[in-house]
Amino acid sequence: MRAAARSAHRALVTTLTLLATAATATLTAGAAPPRAAACSGHVGLTFDDGPSGNTAKLLTALRQNGLRATMFNQGQYAAANPALVRAQVAAGMWVGNHSYTHPHLTRLSQVQIDSEISRTQQAVANAGGGTPKLFRPPYGETNATVKSVAARHGLTEIIWHVDSQDWNGASTDAIVRSAGRLTDGQVILMHDWSANTLAAIPRIAQGLAARNLCAGMISPRTGRAVARADLRVGPRADGNGATATERRRATR
């Protein structure tokens, strides 16, 4: 009796194990990220003002939805949270410079502008984020002095083609609609700290995939979203020390 009971128990355990395995497989298949069948174009997703307490959640959402993005970090936060900068790179993101303390750069002297930009380059590099190739001035405010200082640090200034208005309280629906206006090569402004933007990520991914648009890197040469590094500007053109595997992945 006892042997028979054990045998029945074992059979039940085996059945349950098989069912659990099947359930896991189903869940995994259902969680496959939306992906364009073929990339007919690329768009640049950008998230400003991190890294912060929201960055880990944002990175998880981007990864789960098969998206890569450019993170325009503030130097002061990169210095305070170096592990999050490394997490951005590990998640396949590109890291850009968004000034050290987020001032209105056009109101500062050339020396002050240089300090904002150079300290951020240093903070990101010290954190393990590579030396940024892309620079976004706070508020998108720029002038000839800002541009020339950025250029001296090897940075290409990137503003945006589409403003999600997440900084201005845009709803998740409105942020999804903004991303829906992106066309090949264009860049959208979003923020690391916006809960509505975080909530919009899965639908942004679905919308891009439905239009065969892929999330790409922003070319330091053209300032537009592309599949991968433009080899004409050198081996580190994609910045942040992306591996060959990451570069190949980015072309998908």
Length of the chain: 252
Q: How far apart are CA 120 and CA 74, in angstroms?
A: 7
* Chain residues 161-180 in contact with Zn ion, contact rule CB under 5 A: none
| Shortest spacing between CB 104 and Zn ion, in angstroms | 11
| Shortest spacing between CB 164 and Zn ion, in angstroms | 13
Q: How far apart are CA 250 and CA 35, in angstroms?
A: 12
Candidates 42, 44, 49, 96: give the one binding Zn ion (CB under 5 A): 49
Interaction of residue 116 with Zn ion, rule CB under 5 A: no
Q: The tokens of 219 are what? A: 């070319």
46 vs 65, which CB is nearer to Zn ion? Answer: 46
Q: How far apart are CA 55 and CA 241, in angstroms?
A: 20
Q: What are phi and psi of 48, to 5 degrees?
A: -100, 160
The helix/strand count (H/E) of the chain reads as 9, 10
Part of the chain binding Zn ion (CB under 5 A), chosen from 121-129, 137-145, 146-154, 209-217: 137-145
DSSP tag of 172: H
Interaction of residue 192 with Zn ion, rule CB under 5 A: no
Q: Judging by DSSP bridges, how do beta strands 217-218 and 41-48 pair with one another? A: unpaired
Four-residue CA torsion sign, 27, 28, 30, 33 = positive
49 vs 166, which CB is nearer to Zn ion? Answer: 49
Residues labelled as active-site residues:
48, 191
| Shortest spacing between CB 192 and Zn ion, in angstroms | 9
189 vs 205, which CB is nearer to Zn ion? Answer: 189
Q: E strands of 49-184, at which residues?
A: 70-73, 94-97, 134-135, 156-157, 162-163
| Shortest spacing between CB 136 and Zn ion, in angstroms | 7
Q: Total binding residues for Zn ion by CB under 5 A?
A: 3
Contact 48, 72 (CB under 8 A): yes
| Shortest spacing between CB 220 and Zn ion, in angstroms | 20
48 vs 238, which CB is nearer to Zn ion? Answer: 48
Q: How far apart are CA 45 and CA 208, in angstroms?
A: 11
Candidates 48, 116, 166, 238: give the one binding Zn ion (CB under 5 A): 48
Part of the chain binding Zn ion (CB under 5 A), chosen from 17-25, 48-56, 87-95, 146-154: 48-56
Part of the chain binding Zn ion (CB under 5 A), chosen from 45-53, 150-158, 200-208, 215-223: 45-53
Binding residues (CB under 5 A) for Zn ion: these are: 48-49, 138
